[in-house]
Structure 1
Amino acid sequence: MRLRTALATATAALAAATCLTAAGPARAAAPGTAQGAAAGTAPGGSRACSPSTALAGFSDALDKTTYEGTFVGNLSALAVDRGGSVAALSDRSSLFTLDAWTLAPRSVVRLADGGGAALDSEGLAVDRDGTRLVSSEGEPAVRRYTPGGRLLGSLPVPGELRVAPAGRAVPNGTFEGLTLLPGGKRLLAGMEYALAGDAADIVRLQTWERKGGKGKSASTGTGGFRLGAQYGYRADAGLGVAETTATPDGRLLVLERGFTSGVGNTVRLYLADLRHAADTRGVEALTGQDGVRLVRKTLLADLVGCPSLGATAKQPQPNPLLDNIEGLAVTGRERGRLKLLLVSDDNQGATQTTRLYSLTVRLPNIAEG
C-alpha cells in the first residue's frame, strides 16, 4: 500500500525536520489510502518542549496501515541506514525500510531466530557494512542479520541478564534499547527494568567491544564483538528505559517511559554520560547506597511540555501528543542542534497510535554536562 505521509503543510514540516539527505526540497509521497493521517506544526507559536528541546512536527500517517500485507505498527526502534533511509523495527519480527524524505515504507523483511521462531524484537542498530543488529527482549539476545534478513549469528549475553529462572531479569524487562557508539567498535544495550536484587530504579547497560580492523570480522557470527563493561543507570521512579541512542560525541540519549492507566504516558529524554561510571560486572547487587558510581544523566525534556500541535489521543493523556514512545534515532545536525526522529509503538491496539515525531535538541557541552 502506498502511503501519504501527511497533509501538505505538515508533510513539508516533518520532512524538512527529518530529511536525511544533504540537500534538496522535501517531496510529499503520492496520495494513497492511509487512514488516520495527521500531522502538526506550530504556526506562529512556540515549538519549545524545554530550553534545549523543540518539536518540529509529527505524523500519524503510518497508523493502522499495511505494506505488502504486513501491518505497519508495533514499531519499537529506529536507526539511520546507509544511504540515508530509516530502518524501523517492529517488535513482531518485521524490519521496514522507510524512505528518507517521506518516511513511507519502501521494503520489509521478516526476522527469525535460529529455529525460525519469531522475535520480541525491541532494539536496532545498523553496522558500518549494513548488517542489522537486533535485540530481542524475550531471552534476551542480540542477533546479527544481513539486510535481507538472513541470520548471521548471536552475541554472548551475561547470565545474570537473562530472564529468570536462567538469570535475574524480569520478563518483558530486558534489552529494550540498542545502539552503536561512534566508530562502530562499541555496542550498547539498555535493560528496560532492574534485575532482581538490584534497586528497583537502577537498570544495567551492557556493552560489547569489537577488536580488529574494518571488515575482518564481518563474516563471523558475533561480528567480532566480545562482552565489555557494564554500567548502572538510575531511572526516574516508576519509569523504565525504552531506548538508548548514541550521540555523535559518544554520549547517550536515553528515553525513559512509563504508563499510568487513566492518566497516560510519561516520556522523558535524558542525556547520559558513561565517563567516570563504574564497571558493574561482578557487582551482584546495585543498591544505590553502595558507593558504585552510576551513569550521570541530565534531563533534556519531559515531553509532556511539548506543544500538542493539534494532536489527538485515543486514550487519556496528560498531553494528547504523547503516546507509547519507544524508538529514537539521531538523523542529522543543523545549526548546532541534533535532529531526532522518534516513534511510538501502538501495540496494534485501538487505543494507541503509531506516531512519528521530529525534534531538535541542543546538547550541553561535555564540560557542562
Structure 2
Amino acid sequence: MRMRSVLATATAALAAATCLSAAGPSYANAPQHHACSPYVSIDRFSDALDKTTYQGTFVGNFSALAVDVPHSRLRSNGGTPIGSLAAVSDRSALFSLDAETLAPRGVVPLADEKGAALDSEGLVVDHDGTRLISSEGEPAVRRYSEDGRILDRLPVPDALRVAPAGRAVSNGTFEGLTWFRGGLLASMEYALSGDSAGIVRFQTWDRHKGGFELSAQYGYRADTGLGVPEVTALPDGRLLVLERGFTSGVGNTVRLYLADPRRATDTSAIENLTGQDGVRLIKKTLLADIADCPDLGATAKQPQPNPLLDNIEAMTVTGHTGGRLNVLLASDDNQNSVQTTRFYHLRVRTTV
C-alpha cells in the first residue's frame, strides 16, 4: 500500500530456500545475532538498492518478496546452485533479485486485463514458475507468467471488494499473500465497514486441478491503529504476520506476530465481526516490536522511534539456521525522498 503505506509446495520451497545467502559486500557491517526480543534477532540490514534504477525502472516501492525456487542457477566457478528472489513493486513492476547480493537481475511490467497499472501488493511463486500477485485496488489475485502475461484470475467474495461494490476501504484490501494448507491465503489490511475496528479478514482458497476455489475465511485482530501489510505461512499451519502503522512526526510502528488460525472460526458466512459474538479469532503472540531491535548504525530521513525503522511491508522466509527461521523483510519507500528502501535480515524462533 502507498502509505506515508500446495502445503507440499510451501514446505519444499522453505527447504530449498535454505541454500539462499544474502551476505555480500553491500551490507551494513554489523555484528551478528543482535537481539530484538527473546524470539527475534537482527543480523544486518542493507540500503544498497535505495533510490537506484534498473533498465530504466525505479528499484523500490517493494510490497512483497518470495523465494523463487524454480529459478536456481549455477555459479560459473563451481556449479553451486544459488536461488533467486522475486520482488513486486506496487508501481506495477516484478523484479528478480540475486539472492546473494540482492542486485536486480530482471524486471517485467505488470498490468490488469485492460493494460492498466496495478497496485500490486502480495506475491507467491508457484512450483512451475508462475506468479500469483494480489492487487488491492479491486481487490484481485491474478496468475501471471514469468514474462508478465495474465493467465487467470481467482474469485473474490463480494464483501471484500472496495466500496461501493463491497465493504472494503480504498487502499485497505489484499496486502499479504501466501501459500496456506495446499492453497492460498490473502490478508486484508484493514477492517471492513460493519466489522469492529482492527478486526481484519484473512481469505483462503483451496487448490484443485481446475484452479483455486474460495474456502474458509478468518478474523484477525490487529493492534490499535495498525494494519496488516504482509503474512507468511509456516509448514505447521501457523502464520508470521506483520502489523504496521505510521504517525506523522513520530514514524513507523512495525510488529512481528506468530499467529495460529488452526482453531479459528470460519467467518465467511458472518456478515459483521464485532469481537463479542462468540467468534474465535486467530490467536496471536508477539514475537518482536522492530523498534526494540538495535539500530546497527542505521540512519533515518524522517523522525522514527528507531532509525532502523521504515515503511516495512514485504516479508519472506529464506531458510533456517540453528533452529531459527531466516526471515527477510523489505520496506516500501514510496519513491519518497524521506523514506528508504531497506532490507532486514532477521532470525526468528517460533517455539513460544
The answer to whether the 8 A contact 1:20-1:100 is kept is: no
Gaps spanning 5+ residues in structure 2: where?
Answer: 1-15, 73-82
In 1: Cα distance, 2:144 partner to 2:23 partner = 31
Aligned to 2:291: 304
In 2: Cα distance, 1:111 partner to 1:202 partner = 31
Aligned to 1:193: 190
In 1: Cα distance, 2:23 partner to 2:342 partner = 19
Paired letter, 2:62: L
The answer to whether the 8 A contact 2:18-2:320 is kept is: no
Q: Does 1:39 align with 2:16?
A: no
In 1: Cα distance, 2:66 partner to 2:174 partner = 16
May I ask how many residue pairs the two structures share in their alignment? 325
Q: Does 1:338 align with 2:335?
A: no
In 1: Cα distance, 2:98 partner to 2:176 partner = 23
Aligned to 2:37: 50
Q: Does 1:264 align with 2:251?
A: yes
Aligned to 1:31: none
Aligned to 1:151: 150
TM-score, normalisation: structure 1: 0.85
In 1: Cα distance, 2:184 partner to 2:206 partner = 7
Shift of residue 250 of structure 1?
2.2
The answer to whether the 8 A contact 2:21-2:99 is kept is: no
> What secondary structure, in the 3-state scheme, does the structure 2 residue paired with 1:330 have?
strand
> What secondary structure, in the 3-state scheme, does the structure 2 residue paired with 1:138 have?
coil
> What secondary structure, in the 3-state scheme, does the structure 2 residue paired with 1:358 have?
strand
Aligned to 2:10: none
Bigger Cα displacement from structure 2, 326-335 vs 241-250: 241-250
The answer to whether the 8 A contact 1:21-1:100 is kept is: no
Task: Please give the root-mean-square deviation of Cα atoms over the aligned residues, in Å.
Answer: 1.7
Shift of residue 265 of structure 1?
0.3
Aligned to 2:309: 322
Aligned to 1:92: 91
> What secondary structure, in the 3-state scheme, does the structure 2 residue paired with 1:139 have?
coil
Shift of residue 144 of structure 1?
0.3
Aligned to 1:350: 337
The answer to whether the 8 A contact 1:91-1:120 is kept is: yes
What whole-Å deviation, never above 9, does each CA across 1:283-316 have from its counterpart, x for those lacking one?
Answer: 0110001110100111000001000000000000
- CA gap of 1:316–1:335, structure 2 versus 1, over 3 A, is same
In 2: Cα distance, 1:24 partner to 1:38 partner = 12
In 2: Cα distance, 1:40 partner to 1:324 partner = 22
> What secondary structure, in the 3-state scheme, does the structure 2 residue paired with 1:318 have?
coil
- CA gap of 1:316–1:24, structure 2 versus 1, over 3 A, is closer
What whole-Å deviation, never above 9, does each CA across 1:198-233 have from its counterpart, x for those lacking one?
Answer: 001100000000124xxxx4xxxxxx1000000000
The answer to whether the 8 A contact 1:330-1:339 is kept is: yes
> What secondary structure, in the 3-state scheme, does the structure 2 residue paired with 1:85 have?
strand
> What secondary structure, in the 3-state scheme, does the structure 1 residue paired with 2:102 have?
coil
In 1: Cα distance, 2:198 partner to 2:49 partner = 34
Q: Does 1:239 align with 2:223?
A: no
- CA gap of 1:137–1:335, structure 2 versus 1, over 3 A, is same
- CA gap of 1:24–1:258, structure 2 versus 1, over 3 A, is closer
Aligned to 1:134: 133
Paired letter, 1:42: P
Q: Relative contact order, CA 8 A, sep 6+: which one is greater?
A: 2
> What secondary structure, in the 3-state scheme, does the structure 2 residue paired with 1:39 have?
coil
The answer to whether the 8 A contact 2:20-2:318 is kept is: no
- CA gap of 1:173–1:24, structure 2 versus 1, over 3 A, is closer
What whole-Å deviation, never above 9, does each CA across 1:324-365 have from its counterpart, x for those lacking one?
Answer: 00000000011110000000000000110000000001101x
Q: Does 1:112 align with 2:99?
A: no
Paired letter, 2:130: T
The answer to whether the 8 A contact 1:20-1:101 is kept is: no
Shift of residue 20 of structure 1?
4.8
Bigger Cα displacement from structure 2, 124-133 vs 325-334: 124-133
The answer to whether the 8 A contact 2:300-2:307 is kept is: yes
TM-score, normalisation: structure 2: 0.89
Gaps spanning 5+ residues in structure 1: where?
Answer: 1-18, 29-36, 218-223
- CA gap of 1:40–1:254, structure 2 versus 1, over 3 A, is farther
